[in-house]
Copies of this chain bind each other. A is one copy, B any other.
Amino acid sequence: MSVEREISPRTIERLSLYRRLLLPHHEGEDSYIFSHDLAELAGVTATQVRRDFMQLGCMGVPRTGYRIGELLSGISGILDAPAGQRAALVGVGHLGAALLNHFSGRWRWLHIHAAFDRDPDKAGSVIHGCHCFPMSELSTLIRERKIDLGIITVPRDHAQEVANQLIEAGVQGLLNFAPIRLRHGDDIYVENVDLTSAFETVAYFARCRRPSLFISESHRGFPSLDDRKLRGDDVKS
């Protein structure tokens, strides 16, 4: 069981977004939402919302919409590992500490379980509720506590070395904030969060903004709200 068909990364990102947007609307068993209303919140088209939910096997009802509770459990069925998942963060600097503050202990099913830093002042302390350990304990702890994700927030020149240690210890996925691309085998999934690219990309497109040349808000798949009709996308004319 677990995962039946391959779901595209873009869809997975949107499901994560949909869940966040839906949660505040989930009031009781009988709350419903229309595809175009969620589409507006998410900055995508209603068609895309419907198509994404098709993959979940969630069916809506014309003139009623989708039952929010059903959507939420459908999404959780895809995104959340039944047994939960644990991450280790390496590099408790400015960015690492911000991430610890935000993510550690936020959800039951996915959380940052331990942090590591080579700085002896940090190792041993508790940062935002998360224990920070010395690097020497990384391998043992990751194995013992069945941590399967790594978050890399060390400086550029240490990122590959840290990635190697994490992979060696058995993690299957990496979230990399260092401004390089890591070398790794096929069996590891790496998601790069490239804040420098993001910053430079905004700068470029903001500059090139003579109206009607660049349409899309973001290539991640969230077109501008104003590009679409405000309600519904396929109304008969």
Indicate whether A62 reaches chain B with its CB closer than 8 angstroms.
no
Q: Interface-forming stretch among A29-37, A98-106, A117-125, A134-142?
A: A98-106
Q: Which of B6, B9, B194 contacts A213 (CB 8 A)?
A: B6
Indicate whether A184 reaches chain B with its CB closer than 8 angstroms.
yes
Chain A: how many interface residues by the 8 Å CB criterion?
A: 85
Q: Quote the shortest CB–CB distance from A17 to chain B (angstroms).
A: 6
Contact status A79-B200, CB under 8 Å: yes
Contact status B219-A8, CB under 8 Å: yes
Residues of B within 8 A of A41 (CB): 180-181
Indicate whether A28 reaches chain B with its CB closer than 8 angstroms.
no
Q: CA of A173 to CA of B218 in the docked complex: distance in angstroms? A: 11
Q: CA of A102 to CA of B194 in the docked complex: distance in angstroms? A: 13
A-B contact pairs, 28 of them (CB 8 A): A9-B219, A13-B201, A16-B201, A17-B179, A17-B181, A41-B181, A87-B203, A94-B97, A94-B98, A94-B102, A97-B98, A99-B195, A110-B203, A171-B206, A173-B202, A173-B205, A173-B206, A173-B209, A175-B199, A181-B225, A186-B215, A187-B211, A189-B202, A189-B205, A189-B217, A191-B218, A193-B195, A193-B198
A residues with a Cβ closer than 8 A to B are 2-3, 6-10, 12-13, 16-17, 20-21, 41-43, 78-79, 81, 85, 87, 93-95, 97-99, 101-103, 110, 148-149, 151, 171-175, 179-209, 211-220, 222, 224-227
